[in-house]
Amino acid sequence: MKLPFVRKVSPSQEMTSSRTELDGVDKVEDVVILSPHCDDAPLSLGATLLSGFLRSKARVFVVFSRSRYTKDYPCNGPIEEITTLRNREEELAATQASYEVSFLGFGEPFVREGFLTIKDIYDLRRQPRQDEVWKPLLSAFRQVFSSRIQLILAPLACGGHVDHRIVHQAVLECSTIHTDQRIGFYEDLPYSSELSDSAIIERVPSSLSRPLHPVLVTESIDDKLELLKVYESQLVPEQFKQVRRYWERRKGERIWLP
C-alpha cells in the first residue's frame, strides 16, 4: 500500500530546495524504535507514529529510562519519583500514538557517575565505549538484533548528547555482526532543528550493508505537536517552536531508510 503523505526525497545537500517526489513508499511492518529517553521517539518520529506508515504497532524501547531530570529539576531531582512521572508520560504518548513501549532501565547521565552539569552531557570528549553503561547496553542491543525484526530505527545523534551517541554507536557496532538487519535512522529533535542539511547528512552512516535514502512524512505537524503536550515535565515552549521550525524548513519529518 502506498501512502500519499510519505515520499522518498533526493539526498541533496540542500533538500529544502531540491526535492524529488516519488509515488510513495510502502508501509513498514515490525519496527523497533530505539529511543534514548522518554519523549525522544515522539519528538523525532511523532508524525511517523501517527500517520499509519507503520502498519503494525511500533515497539519503542526507551533506553535510558531512569531519570533525575525534568524542566523543574534539571540535574538533581528524586530518581524514583521522576522516573515514575516520565515513564507515565511516555505510556500516555504510547496510548495516543498507538505504539508499544518498554523501558530498558538504564540511568540517564545524572543517575550515573561523573555527570554534574548539563554541559557534561554534551562534552564530545566523552567516548561512548568508556561510559559505564556501554557493555550492558551493548549486550541488551545484541539481544534486540538477534530477534529478527524487519526494521530497527535509531537516532542519528544530532546535537551530541552523550546518550544519543551511545545508542547510535552501539547500533553501528551491532550492525557489523548482524549485517542482514535493516537499520534506519531518525533526525533527533529538537537538536536537528538547529542544523543545516549538510550537517545532518554528515551524520548518516555510509558503512551499512544497505544504503540509506531519506523519506519524508508530511502529515501532520498539528497532530504531532498535540501529542507532544503529554510531556508536561519535559518540554518547554521553545522546544515546540524548534519542532515546528524543523517541519517548516524540511516540509515534514525526515527519516533515513534502507
User: What CATH number does the domain containing 187 carry?
Assistant: 3.40.50.10320
When mean pLDDT is compared across 73-82, 94-103, 222-231, 234-243, the lowest value belongs to 73-82
Q: Is the pLDDT of residue 21 over 80?
A: no
Read off the pLDDT band of 51 (50, 70, 90).
confident
Residue 75 counted as domain residue: yes
Read off the pLDDT band of 73 (50, 70, 90).
confident
Q: Is the pLDDT of residue 8 over 60?
A: no
Alpha carbons 190 and 178: distance in angstroms, whole number: 30
- Helix (H), strand (E) counts: the chain: 8, 8
Q: Is the pLDDT of residue 45 over 90?
A: yes
Residue 162 counted as domain residue: yes
One-letter amino acid for residue 238 of the chain: E
What's the pLDDT score for residue 2?
A: 40
Alpha carbons 222 and 151: distance in angstroms, whole number: 27
Start-end of H helices in the chain: 40-51, 79-97, 118-121, 134-145, 162-175, 197-201, 221-228, 237-250
Q: Is the pLDDT of residue 166 over 50?
A: yes
Full domain range(s) for residue 237: 6-257
Percent of the chain beyond pLDDT 90? 75
pTM over 0.85: yes
Give the helix/strand (H/E) hosting 236. none
Name the residue with higher pLDDT: 156 or 211. 156
Q: What is the mean pLDDT of residues 5-9?
A: 47
Alpha carbons 185 and 208: distance in angstroms, whole number: 12
Read off the pLDDT band of 29 (50, 70, 90).
low
Residue 61 counted as domain residue: yes
Residue 90 counted as domain residue: yes
Q: What is the mean pLDDT of residues 20-43?
A: 75
User: Which CA distances in Å does 90 have to 2, 94, 191, 221, 242?
Assistant: 29, 6, 20, 19, 20
Residue 167 counted as domain residue: yes
Q: Is the pLDDT of residue 19 over 80?
A: no
Name the residue with higher pLDDT: 257 or 54. 257
5 alpha carbon, distance to own chain's centre:
20
The span from the first CA to the last CA of the chain, in angstroms, equals 18
Residue 1 counted as domain residue: no
What's the pLDDT score for residue 27?
A: 59
Alpha carbons 201 and 4: distance in angstroms, whole number: 25
Residue 112 counted as domain residue: yes
CB 182 within 8 A of CB 210: yes
Strand partners, 183: 152
Residue 58 counted as domain residue: yes
Alpha carbons 254 and 178: distance in angstroms, whole number: 25
Average pLDDT, the chain: 88
How many domains does the chain fold into?
Answer: 1
Place of cell 534514548: 36
